[in-house]
Amino acid sequence: MPLVHLTDRALITANGPDARAFLQNIVTTDLEAIAEGEAWPGALLTPQGKILFDFLISRHGEDGFQLECRTDVASDFQRRLMLYKLRAKVEIDVQEQQPVAVQWQVDSHSSRDDSSTSQSDSGWLRDRRFADAEVWRAYGAAPAADAAADVYAALRAEHGVAESGADYALSDAFPHDVLFDQNGGVGLKKGCFVGQEVVSRMQHRGTARRRVLLARADTALPPSGTDITADRRVIGTLGTVAGTRGLAIARIDRVKAALDAGTKLLVGDVEVSLAIPGWAKLTFPERDAEAE
């Protein structure tokens, strides 16, 4: 079981009698669905429905929640939450020097079952973004790392788990773009939250076209940020790269059109295949829509 320490992550805690109601009314995640021992994806959106901050959220004590986010945006995220606080009885704090440990299963099914119990009993949190793998996170004291952070990046590339910074820019992606409608990052039935009208409209009209895809090549992929093209037309961008595997955010209608026409998909000069993650309940559309 590889164990990685992430040094680019921070924790924000929201504690107090109004913490649940406060967060439920502004973030995308349905907090009622979060069980003890789980970390769910989520976001705070702009009013236009784009991801302003992304995070993993879990329960913290009796009345609180903790939000794991990028270290470089933690202070800005805290300040934005404070703008929504008004008279709510909730304390919002950035936790300094809180290491984040990640561990996942690579062994047999029976070992996974045994480890699931021991992990949940010892304060580890199941990362719900990974629908087809057991990935656990711990905050604070954790065993020594035995793998580098790029091994965790490779895990994300294998399972279709995108993160801001590595795969998309904040304020530039909708929740549907990064599969939040598929992995629980958006509570589509929970009611109002910031940007909810745009997200609901995309859901009901089926207009989401940009999606996270698995990128695979026979040779090493070029750097993150390289355009993906079909017949010299840009259809997406490469994100996390781990050798011959990576993540991409691309227009799935145009990927489908290229596949139907037998057109090569290229990342720079490297031919690449793009596939929807196996756990996602969506398919390539039949038509190339010219507008989102």
Fold of the 175-275 domain: Elongation Factor Tu (Ef-tu); domain 3 (2.40.30)
Task: Kindly list the domain boundaries of the chain, sorted by start residue.
Answer: 3-159, 175-275
CATH homologous superfamily for the domain 3-159: Probable tRNA modification gtpase trme; domain 1 (3.30.1360.120)
Q: Which value, in Å, is the radius of gyration of the alpha carbons in the chain?
A: 19
Distance CA 196, CA 102 (A): 31
Q: Are strands 210-216 and 273-275 parallel, antiparallel or unpaired?
A: antiparallel
What letter does residue 15 receive in the DSSP assignment?
E
One digit per residue, the tens of pLDDT, for the chain of length 292 reads 899 999 999 999 999 999 999 999 999 999 999 999 999 999 999 999 999 999 999 999 888 999 999 999 999 999 999 999 999 999 999 997 778 999 998 553 333 334 443 454 568 999 999 999 999 999 987 788 999 999 999 999 999 999 999 999 999 999 999 999 999 999 999 989 999 999 999 999 998 999 999 999 999 999 999 999 999 999 999 999 999 999 999 999 999 999 999 999 999 999 999 999 999 999 999 765 554 4
> Are the CB atoms for 59 and 20 separated by under 8 Å?
no
pTM confidence score: 0.91
